[in-house]
């Protein structure tokens, strides 16, 4: 295996933590960076980082990705030529309350990584997190959301920043000719997940005996994708950079959208508790359905999701009970 390290931003985050572990498992050296902010429970982020204790191939730096000088120095000093950029300010609803957090982390932070990459000698590949939210509230027909669609009508600031990052990367690829891949993540869940995501939040409330708020009157659908499958796709994309310094965007999801009420029913079954459900209208910035056409990623890497929702939610509930002692 190669001796040069892979830089993983957002290493204390849900997906970054999982990607870093997979890279370590296959013998890579990994440099993780994260600001470890308080958008959600800091102790969960610290617990994720604690899972790297004793890992000889892992080093961690508490850095704000919007600090361009710090990011550039780290890339330069460690001879980084491959980056998996997963750090960002997440959340659609939170963007309505704290818009400038998205400007700093998502836009300024992405620009920091672009600049550090273009100045790194022999740089090979920047893989970065985009989002299915860039498609906007697209009606779901018989086919999944395709990367060839224009994706120019975001319905949240979060989505707008993610689409902006794609356009920034496109311009840098044309100007400086180094390979970049944007991954449009569909709804990710699993052990070590984010508390602001539906499956995690519903589990917390159901076990606490609280009612859950079901937005969109329960009529929404999501392409729920298990974390291990997501990691397969991220690593596969990293290992297959575009030729001749190009830029591309790829969907990464399960390709089997599930209705919100079906997800809740599955969660109730795994918890052994029927939830008290309060129906709410759609929230500003939400979309009705997401559905990934994954044919491009599959053709490139052989990506094929393996974990179905029933098993995935079962794994999450098992982890949750163990982690929180319930």
Is 250 in contact with 220 (CB distance < 8 Å)? no
The β-bridge partners of 258 are 222
Q: Report the 10 Å Cβ neighbour count for 320.
A: 20
Please give the residue that has the higher pLDDT: either 252 or 151.
252
Q: Which of 254, 264, 268 is nearest to 216 (CA)?
A: 264
**Residue 18 confidence (pLDDT):** 98
- Residue among 135, 158, 172, 178 flagged as catalytic: 158
Helix (H, G, I), strand (E, B) or coil at 283: coil
Q: Which residue has the higher pLDDT, 93 or 204?
A: 204
Q: How far apart are CA 176 and CA 210, in angstroms?
A: 53
- Model confidence at 178, in pLDDT bands (50, 70, 90)? very high
pLDDT higher than threshold 80 for residue 138: no
Mean pLDDT over 70-89 rounds to 98
Q: At CB < 8 A and 24+ separation, what contacts does 321-325 make? A: 323/47
Active site residue 172: no
Instruction: Tell whether the model's pLDDT for residue 258 goes beyond 70.
Output: yes
The stretch 88-98 carries a mean pLDDT of 88
The alpha carbon of 227 is separated from its chain's Cα centroid by a whole number of angstroms, namely 9
**200 or 95: whose pLDDT is higher?**
200
Identify the bridge partners of residue 130 per DSSP, sorted by sequence position: 184
Give the Cα separation of 271 and 318 in Å (integer): 9
Distance separating alpha carbons of residues 208 and 196, to the nearest angstrom: 16
């Amino acid at each position: 295996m190669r001796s040069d390290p892979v830089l993983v931003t957002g290493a204390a985050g849900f997906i970054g933590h999982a990607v870093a572990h997979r890279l370590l498992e296959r013998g890579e050296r990994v440099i993780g960076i994260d600001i470890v902010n308080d958008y959600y429970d800091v102790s969960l982020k610290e617990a994720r980082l604690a899972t790297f204790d004793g890992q000889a191939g892992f080093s961690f730096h508490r850095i704000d990705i919007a600090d361009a000088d710090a990011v550039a120095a780290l890339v330069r000093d460690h001879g980084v030529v491959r980056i998996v950029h997963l750090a960002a300010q997440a959340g659609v609803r939170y963007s309505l309350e704290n818009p400038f957090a998205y400007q700093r982390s998502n836009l300024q932070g992405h620009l920091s990584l672009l600049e550090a990459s273009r100045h790194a000698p022999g740089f090979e590949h920047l893989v970065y997190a985009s989002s299915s939210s860039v498609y906007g509230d697209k009606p779901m027909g018989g086919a999944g959301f395709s990367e060839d669609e224009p994706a120019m009508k975001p319905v949240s600031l979060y989505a707008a920043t993610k689409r902006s990052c794609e356009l920034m990367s496109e311009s840098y690829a044309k100007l400086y000719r180094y390979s970049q891949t944007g991954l449009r993540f569909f709804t990710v869940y699993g052990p070590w997940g984010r508390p602001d995501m539906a499956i995690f939040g519903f589990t917390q409330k159901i076990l606490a005996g609280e009612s859950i708020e079901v937005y969109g009157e329960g009529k929404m659908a999501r392409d729920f994708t298990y974390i291990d499958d997501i990691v397969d796709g991220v690593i596969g994309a990293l290992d297959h950079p575009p030729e001749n310094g190009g830029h591309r965007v790829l969907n990464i999801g399960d390709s089997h959208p599930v209705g919100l009420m079906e997800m809740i029913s599955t969660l109730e079954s795994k918890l052994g508790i029927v939830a008290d459900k309060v129906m709410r209208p759609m929230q500003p910035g939400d979309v009705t359905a997401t559905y990934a056409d994954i044919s491009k990623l599959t053709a490139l890497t052989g990506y094929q999701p393996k974990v179905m929702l029933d098993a995935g939610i079962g794994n999450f509930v098992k982890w949750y009970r163990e982690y929180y002692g319930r």
